[in-house]
């Protein structure tokens, strides 16, 4: 599946969170939502990104924004990640990568010259109706929050 564009309806999903509870996008209707995809919990880049989101959680909430992080990690691993860094926001387990593919956050990557398929670090800002307001594919871990805040400010 290709990347989503501004104005597209974000695909709904239902995934297990770090507490093994089913969470779906529809439940966030009426609030803006920052959905971001990360490759693997408790790795340097993903930790930096998650901690930046954690540190901006109150500011985002004041702007009416919910946050959802999604990776292929199992709910138990997400829970450890959440507890270790006191993240305090929803982390979802997309073990079959269906949601990442539906959002265009899955594709060819390369490391040390070797090509492979994996999660492409991406962030999408959705409006209250679940439509895409902004997308950032291949976003840097440190840029997720500043880009989201700038987009909210410009709205």
Determine the distance from the C-alpha atom of residue 99 to the mean position of all C-alpha atoms in its chain, rounded to a whole number: 11
What CA–CA distance (Å, rounded) separates 39 from 60?
23
Out of 34, 46, 50, 133, pick the active-site residue: 46
The neighbour count for residue 150, using CB atoms within 10 Å, is: 12
What CA–CA distance (Å, rounded) separates 131 from 96?
24
- In 3-state terms the chain splits into helix, strand, coil percentages (rounded to 5) of 30, 30, 35
DSSP 11: P
Is 51 catalytic? The answer is no
| Three-state SS at 92 | strand
Which residues, 6+ apart, have CB-to-CB distance to 62 below 8 Å? none
What CA–CA distance (Å, rounded) separates 151 from 104?
20
Catalytic residues, by residue number, are 46
């Amino acid at each position: 599946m290709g990347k989503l564009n501004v104005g597209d309806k974000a695909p709904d999903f239902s995934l297990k969170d770090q507490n093994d509870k089913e969470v779906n996008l529809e439940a966030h209707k009426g609030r803006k939502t920052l959905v971001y995809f990360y490759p693997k919990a408790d790795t340097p880049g993903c930790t930096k990104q998650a901690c930046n989101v954690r540190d901006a959680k109150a500011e985002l909430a004041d702007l009416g924004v919910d946050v959802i992080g999604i990776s292929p990690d199992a709910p138990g691993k997400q829970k450890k990640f959440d507890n270790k860094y006191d993240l305090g926001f929803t982390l979802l387990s997309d073990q079959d990568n269906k949601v990442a593919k539906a959002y265009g956050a899955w594709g060819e990557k390369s490391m040390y010259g070797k090509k492979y398929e994996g999660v492409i670090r991406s962030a999408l800002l959705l409006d209250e109706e679940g439509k895409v307001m902004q997308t950032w594919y291949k976003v840097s871990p440190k840029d997720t929050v500043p880009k989201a805040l700038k987009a909210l400010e410009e709205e």
